[in-house]
Structure 1
């Protein structure tokens, strides 16, 4: 059930305690991919995962702005502080729990959100209000994960499969020419860079030409299958908190 399209009486009458919340970011993804790449990816994977489970699940609207100040030099990028992001996601999850959806999977499409979402999951779970766990799609695609980058092969491939009209194919060479090969500026196991513009001319990390439509189809299959397994596990999990030792 999609909350955007449902009525309140539909929600009242549904018989599930499981919900999915897509979370992304509105930020640069190079000259060839849209600012909404992370939101689109989170929504696409969430919907594909829901299609694979044989149970009712509530699908909340996506949260489109995340922790992305590292891309601030690129026009159009939006961001909020980590504190604001954690509070917003936490309260959104708590509002679902108020209506009885006290098992929540947060489907994430942005690397900058990962640590904060883990904190939110722990916080709301330990409070006893709900059980929440984050799922980041590009961490669930096997050997492909190592090539994640930014606006690189994985994100470009997924969009070429799901939203091909949004990729500016005539800018792929431009994206390749200004790209960085890896994320950050590393020395002594320390990333010396705080902002993406310090190490990538146009915001791209990795080769977008290595992400074709067929690869995107495989990525979606892997991520959606992994999400479906997680949803089933969360639905069946004993979510009571352990007793003090």
Structure 2
């Protein structure tokens, strides 16, 4: 059940302690990808995973702004600091727990959120607020060519929100993007901001994206989420 579509009486009637909290980012994904890519993909995985799961689970509204200052040079990108982000996630999880949904899987669609989510989920678990774990969907599937606005994210969008992908711009995105993330020397990333190594913000070749791969990615990510939900349900806190 998605909280945004339910009434409070619907929510009160639910017999579950499981919740999914999608989190993402509002940031550039090259000239072809929507700014909401990380939110849209996290929501799609959350909803598909809830359907794949054998049991009742609450799906909370997504948190749309994350830790994304590295994309600040590209118009439309929004960001908050890690402390603000952690506080928002922590208090949202606490709100869910106050209604009895105190086993929470945070479904993440943005790489910049990963470290903060691991820390805040550990904190709310250790202090007894809830049992929370983060799942970053593209780490849960076979996606060695992840990139940024590359073939993985673009494929998932072609599966779930194809009308938002500017397919007429894929050639330009590939021509002025980067082959890989960062500017590394001896294992050190010398770059802090995306514009230092990618002219248009794209990393990876989005021309390699297709809907069939997106369908397979969604299936794999939703199956992974369903497995994690089952483990969270059974795990002794």
TM-score bracket, shorter-length normalisation: over 0.9
Question: Hey, what does 2:200 align to over in structure 1?
Answer: 202
Counterpart of 2:61? 61
2:90 maps to 90
What CA distance in whole angstroms lies between the structure 1 residues aligned with 2:52 and 2:154? 24
- Counterpart CA distance in 2 for 1:156 and 1:128 is 38
* Residue aligned with 1:149, SS: coil
Which residue does the alignment assign to 2:130? 130
Q: CA deviation at 1:10?
A: 1.4
Q: Runs of 5+ in structure 2 lacking a partner?
A: none
Cα distance in structure 2, aligned partners of 1:218 and 1:15: 31
Matched with 2:217 is: 219
Name 2:22's counterpart in structure 1. Answer: 22
Matching of residue 152 in structure 1 with residue 150 in structure 2: yes
The separation in 1 between residues aligned to 2:176 and 2:216, in whole angstroms, is 27
Name the residue aligned to 1:36: 36
SS in 2 for 1:73: coil
2-structure distance, mates of 1:101, 1:216: 31
Report the aligned-residue RMSD.
0.6
Q: Post-superposition shift, 1:12?
A: 1.4
Describe the SS at the equivalent of 1:89: helix
What is the alpha-carbon distance in structure 2 between the residues aligned to residue 224 and residue 13 of structure 1?
25
Structure 1 residue 39 displacement after superposition: 0.3
Return the offset for 1:140: 0.9
Moved over 6 A (4+): none
* Rounded Cα–Cα distance in structure 2 between residues aligned with 1:160 and 1:89: 29
Render the CA deviation track for 1:70-105: whole Å, top value 9, x for unaligned: 000000000000000000000000011111111000
- Tell me which residue corresponds to 2:12: 12
| Alignment deviations for residues 111-154 of structure 1 (CA, whole Å, 9 cap, x no partner) | 00000000011000000111000000000112x2x211000010
Equivalent pairs counted in the alignment come to: 237
**Could you tell me which of 228, 231, 234 is aligned with 1:230?**
228
| Cα distance in 1, alignment partners of residues 84 and 172 from structure 2 | 35
Unaligned residue ranges in structure 1 (runs of 5+): 240-245
**Under a length normalisation based on structure 1, what TM-score does the superposition of the two structures give?**
0.96
